[in-house]
Every structure is written in structure tokens, then in C-alpha cells.
Structure 1
Amino acid sequence: MGIGKVLGVIGLIVFLWAAYLGYTLITLTPQIRAEWGYVDEKTIELDVTVYFGKPLPVSINIEEADLYWAGIKVGTLKDLKVGFLKDSARGVLVLKNKEIVEALKEHIRNGEQSNIEIQARGSIFGIPIMRGSFSKPLETDLLSYISNITIESSGDLIKTPAIEGMPSKWGKIDENGIEILSDVKLYNPNPVPLPLFGIKYYIDASGYRVAQGELIEKVVIPANGGGTAKIRTIVDTDILPKVIAEHIKKGERSEVTLKLTLAVKVLNREMEMPLPEIKKTVETNIIEQLNLALS
């Protein structure tokens, strides 16, 4: 066989391979599935599997894919390899809890609006020619969880004030924590006014004290009437990595308790009035939502 025929055969093989590769990529319907891996207060691992639905006639190595949230690098996917004529690939996405908290702060600073971006680089048949990125917007309304809190009045002779809502807004955000400023809507069912000179306010999650608040200024709640108490709450961001880890370890389930005690003056006597605790079970489906978003 002459050299021309050999080159022709090689060219035909390359053409058929390129045509099949093009057809495969065009008709590809990949599905990405993630599962929780190792979790502690420093890192969270996600075991990621990509199903292509058909064998790929190419060898691809995603050397590294960086995950950014609100412009902050929060994780890295390493060693996602697609073997020649393989229909799936596996890799591990390692998230850094501390960086996630910093990204959360930036997300809040931007009005709870940010982007989640993936920047990837890799090679085909060992040739480093792959580089790309894609992003998705993220919007949240985190304060809605506390803004709608209500607590009924209780007691016999002197009843505790009822809470009829806690409209809130974000305050100062720095390395020491996240500040929340709330207007606590109170109703006094008693026939005498209640001068309010202090508030003890705590939020516990998974056994950790996540936040605590205090009264900003004194207020008098009129008899059989309503008033507004302004409080400042500080979220301890140093404890959040532990809370996040415990939440995931318990199957994305956390027990959250809100404790609130009012310091009031009744008939010239100072006294504390603990309000009924609010206990809620917070459940999330992060993995399910992530898999739906990636599929």
C-alpha cells in the first residue's frame, strides 16, 4: 500500500472519529449527581459523578475546577477524569467552610444577590487546551426566617407581652460577625404600662449559640396597647462552620431554639419575663437542589 493510501486511511479514520465525537457531544445529555462525603468544621466534601449517557471517544482530564461564590473562591473540584470510551466520570468537590462564611457576608453586603461561578481548566488527550467558566445568579431572603416570628402572651396576674412580628434588616458586617437590626412588635395585654429596659435574646442551633441580641433603647409599652422595641443581634460567624458541619452530618437537619427574656418594671419593681421558647426543626435539601440545578 502506497504512502498516499496510508495517509488516506488515516485521514478517513480521523474524519470518522471527529464526526462521531461531534455527534456525541451534540447529542450529549449529561447528568451530574452529588453526594455528601467527608464533613468537618473546616471542609465539606462532595462526591461528584457525571453520567454522559454514552461512551465518549475521547480522554478528558479536568485538572481543576474552582467554585466561586460572590467573587470568593469557596471550593475546588480536582481530578475529574473521563477515560477513553467511558460513559461516566467521578471527582471530589472540596468546600472550605471558612470561605463559605466569608462569601455569605459578601452576599449579604450585596443585598443578598450574588453569582455562583465555576472556572475550569483541563486537557484532551493530555493536551492542555480546555479552559472555560459559567455562572448562575443567586438571590435569597434570609431575614424572612425571623421577620415573621410571633409569640403569644402567657401568664396569670401579669401576662407576658405578645410578639406580633420582628421586621429586620442587615446592619454592620465585619470580621467579628453579622449584625441584624430588628423592630420587635410587642402587644401588652395588661391594664398597666410596661416600661421595657432590657432584652436577652438568643438563637441556638445544633447545640451551639449562633446569635445573641440586646435592647438598643428603652421603651414603654402602653397598657392594652402596642409598642416597638429595637434590638441589635450579632451572629457569631466564627461558630457557623461548626453549625454547618453538624447540620449536614445530621442529614441536613438542625434543631433551632429562640429564647427571649424581657426585663420590665411593674409597679416600680424590676422583673424578668421569659417568653415561651420557640423551637423549630430546620430541614434543607441542598443536595437535591444542587442535583436538579446541575442536571
Structure 2
Amino acid sequence: MGIGKILGVIGLIVFLWVAYLGYTLITLTPQIRAEWGYVDENTIELDVTVYFGKPLPISANIKEADLYWAGIKVGTLKDLKIGFLKDSARGVLVLKNREIVEALKEHIRNGEQSDIEIRVSGSIFGIPIIRGSFSHPLKTDLLDYIGNITIESSGDLIKTPAVEGMPSKWGKIDENEIEILSDVKLYNPNSFPLPLFGVKYYIDANGYQVAQGELLEKVIIPANGRGTAKIRTVVDTNILPKVIAEHIKRGERSEVTLKLTLTVKVLNKEVEMPLPEIKKRVETSIIEQLNLALS
């Protein structure tokens, strides 16, 4: 066979490969799914699988795939390789819990609105031509879990005040703390006023104490009347990586307990009034939101 015919056959093969590759890429409908893998207080791993729907006539390498939340890099996808004529590829996305906490702070600063973004770069047959980014908005209302809290009055001779709501807003955010400012709506069912001059307020999540609160100013709750106690709650962000890890281990569910004790004066004596504990289940859909962003 002459050199011309050989080159012709090679040219035909290349043409058919390019044509098939073009058709494959145009009709490609990839499905990208992530599932939780190994989890501890420092890192969280997600097992990422890309389903192409058909074999790809290429060999590709995703050298970098970084996950950003609220503009902060929170994770990196380890080397993901696409084998020649393979219809799927797998990789591990490693998230850093400390960075997730910093992204949460930024998310809160921005009114609990931010973007989840994937930035990808890679190569095909060793040629670095893959580059792109994909994003999906994320909006939350974390304070809603405590804003609608109600606690009924209890007791015999001296009844505890009822809590009729706890509307809250975010306060200062610094390196180690997130501040929550709450207006606790109280009803005094007693026939005498209750001077409130102290509050012990704690929030536990999955067995960890994540926050504690204090009364900002004294208030007198009138007899058979209502008053508002202003409370400052401080969230310890250093414990949040452990809470996040436990939250994911429990299937993105957390048990949050609120403990509130009021200190009042009755007949010139200080009386501590522990209110019934409030238990809340906090559920998220992080993996669902992430899969939306990935796809």
C-alpha cells in the first residue's frame, strides 16, 4: 500500500473519529451525582460520579475542580480521569470544615444568600482545553428555627412566663463568634409583676453546646401582661466543624435543644425559673443543592 493510501486511511479514521466525537459531545447529556463519603470534624468527602450516557472516544483528565461557597474555596475534587470509551468517571470531592464555617459567615453577612460554584480545568489527550464554571444560588432562613419558638406557662403558686415568640436577627460576626440578637416575647400570667434581671440561655446541637445567651437589659413584665426581653446569643464557631460533621453523619439532620432559665424577683427574693426545654429538628438539603449546582 502506497504512502498516499496510508495517509488517506489515517485521514479517514481521524475524520470519522472527529465526526463521532462532535456528535457525542453535541448529544451528550451528562448526569453528575454526589454522595457523602468519609466525614470527620476536619474534612468531609463526597463521592462524585459523572455519567455520560454513552462511551466517550477520548481520554481526559480533570486536573482541578474546585467548589466555592459564598466566594470562598471550600473543597477540591481530586484527580478525576475519563478513560477512553468509558461512559462514566468517579472522583472524590474533599471539603474543609473550617472553610465551610468561614463561608457560612459570609453567607450570613450577605443576608443568607450566596452561590455554590464549581470551577473546572482539565485536559483531553494531555492538551489543557477544558475550562469552565457552573453556579447555583443558595438561600436559607436559619433564624426561622428559633424565631417562632413558643413555650407555655407552667407552675402552681408562681407561674413561669410564657414565651410567645423570639424574633431574631444576626449581629456581629468575627473570627470565633456569630452574634444573634433576639426579642423574647414574654407573657406573665401571675397577678403580680415579675422583674426580670437575668437570663441563662443555651443552645445545644447533637450533644455540643454551640451557643449561650445573656439578658441585655432588665425588664419588668407587668401582672397579667406582656414584656420583651432583649437577649444576646453568641454562637461558638470553633465547635461548628464538629456539629457539621455530626449533622451529615445523621443524614443532614440535627437535634437542637434550647434551654432558657429566667431569674426574677418575687417578694424581694431571687427566683430562678427554668422553662421547659424546646427540641427542634434541623434538616438541610446540602447534597441536593450541590447536585443541582453540579448538573
Q: TM bucket by the smaller chain?
A: over 0.9
Amino acid in structure 1 at the alignment position of 2:282: V
Q: What is the deviation of 1:136?
A: 1.9
What residue is the counterpart of 1:273 in the other structure? 273
CA contact (8 A) 2:136 2:292 kept: no
Query: Per-residue displacement from partner, 1:196-233 (whole Å, max 9, x unpaired)?
Result: 00111000011100110000000011111111110000
Moved beyond 4 Å, runs of 4+? none
What secondary structure sits across from 1:217 in the alignment? coil
What secondary structure sits across from 2:133 in the alignment? strand
Q: Distance in 1 between matches of 2:97 and 2:190?
A: 47
Q: Distance in 1 between matches of 2:244 and 2:154?
A: 34
Q: What is the deviation of 1:61?
A: 0.5
After superposition, where does 1:80-99 map in structure 2 within 5 Å?
A: 80-99=80-99
What residue is the counterpart of 1:111 in the other structure? 111
Q: Distance in 2 between matches of 1:60 and 1:44?
A: 26
What secondary structure sits across from 2:78 in the alignment? strand
Q: Distance in 1 between matches of 2:15 and 2:71?
A: 42
Amino acid in structure 1 at the alignment position of 2:43: T
Q: Unaligned 5+ residue runs, structure 2?
A: none
Q: Distance in 2 between matches of 1:176 and 1:283?
A: 24
Q: Distance in 1 between matches of 2:244 and 2:190?
A: 42
What residue is the counterpart of 1:124 in the other structure? 124
The answer to whether 1:67 aligns with 2:67 is yes
What residue is the counterpart of 2:258 in the other structure? 258
Q: What is the deviation of 1:293?
A: 5.0
Q: Distance in 2 between matches of 1:21 and 1:151?
A: 64
CA contact (8 A) 2:185 2:226 kept: yes
Q: Unaligned 5+ residue runs, structure 1?
A: none
CA contact (8 A) 2:261 2:274 kept: yes
Q: Distance in 1 between matches of 2:115 and 2:290?
A: 15
Q: Distance in 2 between matches of 1:242 and 1:143?
A: 20
What residue is the counterpart of 1:223 in the other structure? 223
What secondary structure sits across from 2:146 in the alignment? helix
Q: What is the deviation of 1:268?
A: 1.6
Q: Distance in 2 between matches of 1:104 and 1:178?
A: 10
What residue is the counterpart of 1:186 in the other structure? 186
Amino acid in structure 1 at the alignment position of 2:60: I
Q: Distance in 2 between matches of 1:228 and 1:209?
A: 25
Q: Distance in 2 between matches of 1:65 and 1:71?
A: 15
Q: How many residues align?
A: 295
Question: Mean alpha-carbon deviation: is it higher for 232-241 or for 280-289?
Answer: 280-289
Q: Distance in 2 between matches of 1:251 and 1:63?
A: 30
Q: What is the deviation of 1:250?
A: 2.5
What residue is the counterpart of 1:137 in the other structure? 137
The answer to whether 1:12 aligns with 2:12 is yes
Q: What is the deviation of 1:285?
A: 4.0
CA contact (8 A) 2:134 2:293 kept: no
Q: CA RMSD in A?
A: 1.4
What residue is the counterpart of 1:241 in the other structure? 241
What residue is the counterpart of 1:170 in the other structure? 170
TM-score computed with the length of structure 1 as normaliser: 0.96
What residue is the counterpart of 1:100 in the other structure? 100
Q: What is the deviation of 1:37?
A: 1.2
After superposition, where does 1:5-84 map in structure 2 within 5 Å?
A: 5-84=5-84
Identity value in percent:
88
Query: Per-residue displacement from partner, 1:144-179 (whole Å, max 9, x unpaired)?
Result: 111111111111111111111111111000012100
Query: Per-residue displacement from partner, 1:231-283 (whole Å, max 9, x unpaired)?
Result: 00000100000011112223333221110000111122111100000112333
Q: What is the deviation of 1:64?
A: 1.4
CA contact (8 A) 2:196 2:265 kept: yes
Q: What is the deviation of 1:138?
A: 1.7
Query: Per-residue displacement from partner, 1:11-43 (whole Å, max 9, x unpaired)?
Result: 222221111111111211211222211111000
C-alpha change, 1:73 and 1:31, in structure 2 (3 Å) is same
Q: What is the deviation of 1:292?
A: 5.0
Q: Distance in 2 between matches of 1:106 and 1:255?
A: 24
What secondary structure sits across from 1:159 in the alignment? coil
Q: Distance in 2 between matches of 1:291 and 1:128?
A: 26
